[in-house]
Amino acid sequence: MESQKQIPAIALTACVSEFEQQQVNLAGFQKLLAKPVEQAELITVISSLTGRNI
């Protein structure tokens, strides 16, 4: 069986409750960010998830 590579996913939401965090994790997202998102924070998260310096 071929191994499947995980695609990094970031959830963006206005609601950051414990329940929301659990739902995001169950859905397979690696990170949850609260809106509005600062550009620098988004770049940092993308870089950390992809292992690339943007």
pLDDT, tens digit (0-9, with 9 covering 90-100), for 7-29: 899 999 998 899 999 999 999 99
The C-alpha atoms of residue 37 and residue 54 are separated, in whole angstroms, by: 17
Amino acid at 30: Q
Higher per-residue pLDDT: 20 or 1: 20
pLDDT confidence bin for 3, thresholds 50/70/90: low
Find out whether 49 and 10 touch, Cβ atoms under 8 Å: yes
Domain membership of residue 19 (yes or no) is: yes
The domain tally of the chain equals 1
Domain membership of residue 28 (yes or no) is: yes
Domain membership of residue 45 (yes or no) is: yes
The per-residue b/e assignment along 41-54, b for 16 or more CB within 10 angstroms, e otherwise, is eeeebeeeeeeeee
* DSSP letter (8 states) at residue 30: S
Domain membership of residue 44 (yes or no) is: yes
By residue range, what is the domain housing residue 46? Answer: 10-50
